[in-house]
Structure 1
Amino acid sequence: MNTIDPSLYLTNQKTTREPNPTLDKDGFLKILMTQIQNQDPTEPMDSQAMIEQMTSLTSLEQMMNMSSSIEKLVQSQLISPVIQYSHMIGKEVTYQAYDQVTGESLGEKTSAVIAVSQNEGWAILELKNGEKIYADAALKVSTTGSEEDVTEE
């Protein structure tokens, strides 16, 4: 019969405890249960104080969840180039056109934006003349009666 060397087993065990800087509901309940188990029977814990602590913890947890949800929503709005450039639909853009075969400059063209899509995280403006350009290739954006310069991002 083979014996197991206990020194090998003990060396693989985690010997240090890493503290958690946040207190979640499970941690709070563990503390509460420990308080209840170790309370003095002649002076029991104040039930009103216990309820107030639980209410405070629940409110804090709900606020943290809401904050996390809002942060995720904001991040998703900032990431989507379709949403970021959707305001350009219906406006005219002026851009530098190039021959797709030779790469030769064809001068500036202007066309209305009919849709916005994305490709590998880049916003693509789909134009009324059938062409597609990257949003940062627009030199000018025009609406009826006004023009505004567009700076590259």
Structure 2
Amino acid sequence: MPRTSAGLLLYRRHHERGVEVLVGHMGGPFWARKDAGAWSIPKGEHGADEEPRDVALREFAEEMGTPAPVTDLVPLGEVRQSGGKRLTAWAAEGDLDAAAAVSNTFTLEWPPRSGRLQEFPEIDRAAWMPLDEAREKLVRGQVPLLDRLLDLLR
């Protein structure tokens, strides 16, 4: 059975830059020197016994260090990411200080086979990006969420 995850695409309307989305640069040594294709919406895996909408809100809080500043979530549906993982996402309009984001961490043996465990943030930084920039920065499997957001806003 494919792994499943849930996430939240927070957006805001900027008077000069148009619609912007909040995305996070994936943390850890594998992503440290990458930029294009190394950003993600706040998301996380869940089991069959968990409600995906609740997981999306929980993961947002864990990865951004603050609860989502929203009450209404609009479903964006599901996308398939590389490796077959399915991501169910919601959109919500809201605002927060991306520079203040503080992510939870994960433990990884690094360097490989060193026996040394290190902690890395799941998201090492967050940023508001116009849709065109986000299209270049997001992992490929999440790009269709931007088109779905645009369809909702029309």
Identify the TM-score tier after normalising by the shorter chain. Answer: under 0.3
Say which structure, 1 or 2, has more relative contact order (CA 8 Å, 6+ apart): 2
**TM-score normalised per structure 1:** 0.21
Q: Which has the larger radius of gyration?
A: 1
